[in-house]
């Protein structure tokens, strides 16, 4: 898709700046937010790293818009049932997904696509002179529906940091209005490639595979017999694994809404898996975010009912949220993680996190900086040159047009990578 050519909306006000994304609002459209994806990057929850990646922001915006449009239309879901790409997964699991109201209900995805918060992609013309415009340059703005963020309150209970979420408190019934971010990272997994955190959890707790719905214990490099979902915190300094019970509580959703959140995540994950497979790319895992809209009233088959809200896929979808492999090479942020994995800096992060936990404090990054005197180094020259082409090349391949000129094809990019960026051999195939 192409971005709409226009000036930035007037009166943009910066309301949030993260490690890789800025969020703006405007009085012109009080129910909208505008995402600006920067060329910055982050690994290991560190925040902004010391250098940037060329074209990353624009590529993420274009790919995000592309995936929202694909997931928001029914055509991809209509291809799922007969897709040969899903044949490696358990048929009973897939049949259950295809019979669920989220899939085939009156307002199910096979008829109307998946609800989401994306509205438009605005390409600035670069001629405006305001401070905001000079910051944004010609990078697209992603226009999305706004949503309230109810941040948890941190309290020390018996010396341990404990988070309390305002929308879960019984006395805060007024919070069930408008649109609200569901404070969960919803992680879906199709397999367990090298570097997956799932491996460590399975090794520590052999029963964890059963809890995830697996009948067998996967090995590194295996595809899972069926996709699984794990829940993590979204609004805490360090992502924390949650049981389904704790995730349901933190979400602030009722049982109907939480079931739909889970089912919508499966449907979107399967659709993405097929979209990438059709482009020759393996999707191994990824994460979603959702918002819930209590101001909307739709048929229950669309994720809400008259007593509850409508769930919408939110944030963005792209290589920073996904683990992608092509010809055995990681195409997502995992390629960058591997540059830093095993370095003294990464080891210091693990130490800082243990020190913070032992002290009952949340600021492990402060410990790493002030006490361990540890900070990441910039990317080396050959690594930087390759990473600078990653996002633009991937965007061209997926969207199917030369969004970024003078970029190699995906095959040329992979073949030309330095050996150390190609990583491990291709994961094993079907069991």
Residue 303 is predicted with a pLDDT of 46
Q: Give residue-wise pLDDT tens across range 126-136.
A: 454 444 544 55
- List of the chain residues with pLDDT < 70: 1-9, 124-138, 169-176, 296-307, 423-431
Residue 171 is predicted with a pLDDT of 43
Residue 284 is predicted with a pLDDT of 97
Residue 159 is predicted with a pLDDT of 84
| Model confidence, pTM | 0.87
Residue 238 is predicted with a pLDDT of 82
Q: Give residue-wise pLDDT tens across range 1-43.
A: 555 555 566 778 999 888 888 999 998 899 999 999 999 999 9
Of 111, 71, 254, nearest to 103 by C-alpha is 111
Break the chain into its structural domains and give their ranges: 4-422
């Amino acid at each position: 898709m192409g971005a709409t050519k226009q000036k930035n909306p007037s009166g943009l006000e910066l309301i949030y700046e993260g490690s890789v994304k800025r969020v703006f609002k405007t009085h012109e459209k009080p129910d909208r937010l505008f995402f600006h994806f920067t060329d910055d990057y982050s690994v290991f929850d560190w925040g902004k790293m010391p250098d940037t990646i060329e074209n990353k922001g624009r590529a993420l915006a274009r790919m995000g818009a592309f995936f929202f449009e694909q997931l928001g239309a029914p055509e991809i879901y209509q291809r799922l049932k007969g897709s040969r790409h899903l044949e490696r997964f358990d048929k009973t699991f897939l049949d259950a997904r295809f019979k669920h109201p989220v899939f085939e209900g009156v307002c199910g995805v096979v008829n109307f696509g998946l609800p989401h918060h994306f509205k438009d992609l605005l390409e600035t013309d670069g001629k405006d002179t305001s401070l905001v415009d000079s910051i944004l340059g010609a990078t697209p703005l992603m226009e999305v529906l706004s949503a309230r963020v109810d941040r948890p309150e941190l309290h020390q209970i018996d010396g341990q940091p404990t988070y309390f979420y305002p929308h879960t408190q019984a006395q805060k019934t007024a919070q069930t209005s408008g649109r609200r971010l569901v404070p969960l990272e919803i992680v879906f997994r199709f397999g367990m490639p090298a570097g997956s955190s799932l491996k460590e959890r399975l090794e520590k707790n052999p029963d964890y595979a059963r809890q995830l719905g697996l009948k067998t214990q996967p090995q590194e490099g295996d595809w899972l017999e069926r996709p699984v979902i794990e829940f993590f915190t979204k609004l805490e300094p360090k992502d924390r694994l949650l049981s389904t019970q704790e995730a349901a509580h933190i979400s602030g959703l009722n049982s109907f809404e939480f079931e739909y959140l889970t089912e919508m995540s499966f449907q979107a994950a399967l659709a993405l898996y097929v979209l990438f497979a059709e482009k020759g790319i393996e999707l191994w895992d990824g994460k979603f975010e959702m918002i819930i809209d209590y101001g909307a009233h739709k048929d229950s088959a669309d994720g809400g009912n008259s007593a509850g809200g409508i769930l919408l896929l939110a944030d963005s979808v792209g290589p920073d949220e996904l683990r992608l492999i092509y010809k055995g090479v990681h195409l997502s942020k995992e390629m960058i993680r591997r540059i830093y994995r095993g370095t003294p800096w990464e080891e210091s992060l693990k130490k800082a996190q243990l020190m913070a936990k032992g002290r009952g404090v949340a600021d492990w990054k402060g410990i790493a900086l002030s006490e361990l005197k540890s900070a990441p180094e910039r990317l080396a020259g050959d690594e930087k040159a390759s990473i600078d082409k990653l996002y633009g090349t991937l965007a061209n391949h997926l969207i199917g047009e030369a969004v970024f000129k003078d970029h190699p094809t995906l095959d040329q990019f992979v073949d030309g990578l330095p050996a150390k960026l190609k990583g491990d051999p291709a994961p094993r195939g079907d069991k």
